[in-house]
Amino acid sequence: MPEGKPSVHKFQEIISEIFGQPLTNQAEEASQDFWNHWNEILNSINDDSMHINVDMLFLSRNFPEYGRYNIFKGLSIILLLVGLVLLFFSWMIAVATLIASFVLRSYGNSVKSKSGQRFIEELKSEIIKNEAKGMANLCAHYIAGTIQLLTNRGQAHWPAYPSCVFGGDVKFIK
């Protein structure tokens, strides 16, 4: 696969391969907008003026390797319920259980944050290794709703045009 900016057709073909199905009209329009603003997006990512926010719930459902935090979140809820029931029988054991619940929840939040950061770093490193494939992957995650793009000028989240991140206005793809 060639390095650099491919043709818009090739770019959409790469995104289609990522999804494993043809792009919808909305996805084609978003990928066209992404392609039209290629250099601005690439430069903003490279100089860290664009931030990528990750929807961790969506990410963990579609990529289980990023969902380890759900185990700790679930255990903390179970311990919270057990601790509340134990309040009626032994307040000392209940307090210890509630503290354990809080610690598990805090640890789960830490794992969640690190997983999101790891995902973002992997996206950025893929752009550095293979610009066309990395940008297509970034665009695919944008279209799928996994990520949100942010700059000091605006933000963009599906189904808004990706270029909204640079203008501050929000235009939705119809």
The model's pLDDT over 78-126, given as tens digits with 9 standing for 90+, comes to: 999 999 999 999 999 999 999 999 999 999 999 999 999 999 999 999 9
Task: Grade residue 173 by pLDDT with cuts at 50, 70 and 90.
Answer: confident
Identity of residue 97: T
Measure the CA–CA gap between 44 and 60, rounded to whole angstroms: 26
DSSP string, 82-93: HHHHHTTT-HHH
pLDDT of residue 14: 93
Query: Which tokens in the block code for residue 66?
Result: 């990023």
Percent of the chain with pLDDT over 70: 98
Task: Residue 78: count other Cβ atoms within 10 Å of its Cβ.
Answer: 12
Q: Rounded to two decimals, what is the model's pTM?
A: 0.86
pLDDT of residue 2: 45
Segments making up each domain of the chain, as ranges: 8-167
Q: For the packed helices 25-36 and 38-46, what is the interaxial angle rounded to 10 degrees?
A: 70
Q: Is the pLDDT of residue 1 over 60?
A: no
Nearest CA to 51 out of 156, 127, 173 is that of 156
Cα→Cα distances 2→11, 28, 108, 162, Å:
11, 21, 40, 24
> Each residue of 12-30: pLDDT tens digit?
999 999 999 999 999 999 9
- 36-45, 79-88, 165-174: segment of lowest average pLDDT: 165-174
